[in-house]
Amino acid sequence: MTKLELAKQLKLVSYLTGEFTLRSGNISNFYWDKYRFESNPNLLREIADAMISLLPTSFDGLAGLELGGIPLATAISLQTGVPCYFVRKEAKTYGTCNLIEGGVDKESSLVVIEDVITTAGQVCTSVSQIRDEGYIVDHVIAVIDRQSGGREKIEGIGCTFASVFTLAELETA
């Protein structure tokens, strides 16, 4: 599938209009419902393929952020053989009390995988938490960059950022 075809499919499946409150608290008249593209196996496979081309050349694992980044990291892992780990928004308070699930070794270099980036508030918080746990994070990859300041915030914490699509690219599809 070409990038334009993928953009059209993504828009067809997951672009909603109306009034939506985003995680950032901002109000938007459109919404990218990531669960609609992440629950579609054919579309998820194509998106994972596109994300694979954005991965850096050297790293130890994929860090899928709760909740939307987890199916993406899993799909990428299945296609590349690179281990994936699951990052909670908060460490659980029972059992192992882990923030990152999956048995990742300390000091591993992880690529953070996310679905839609708006202001990147949660991504930046998660990167900070992951680093505080003793891991290296230098790269963030997402499906959609809504071009609302997220890229700048991610770069401001010392990470590179790449997305399969920007909002401008999807609007023209």
Q: What is the pLDDT of residue 2?
A: 95
pLDDT digits (tens, 9 = 90+) for 146-170: 999 999 999 999 999 999 999 999 9
As a whole number of angstroms, the distance between CA 48 and CA 22 comes to 24
- Of the pLDDT bands very low, low, confident and very high (cuts 50, 70, 90), residue 127 is very high
Is-contact 149 120, C-beta < 8 A? yes
As a whole number of angstroms, the distance between CA 173 and CA 162 comes to 19
Q: Which domains are present in the chain?
A: 3-172 (3.40.50.2020)
Output the CA angle 19-145-140, nearest 5 degrees.
135
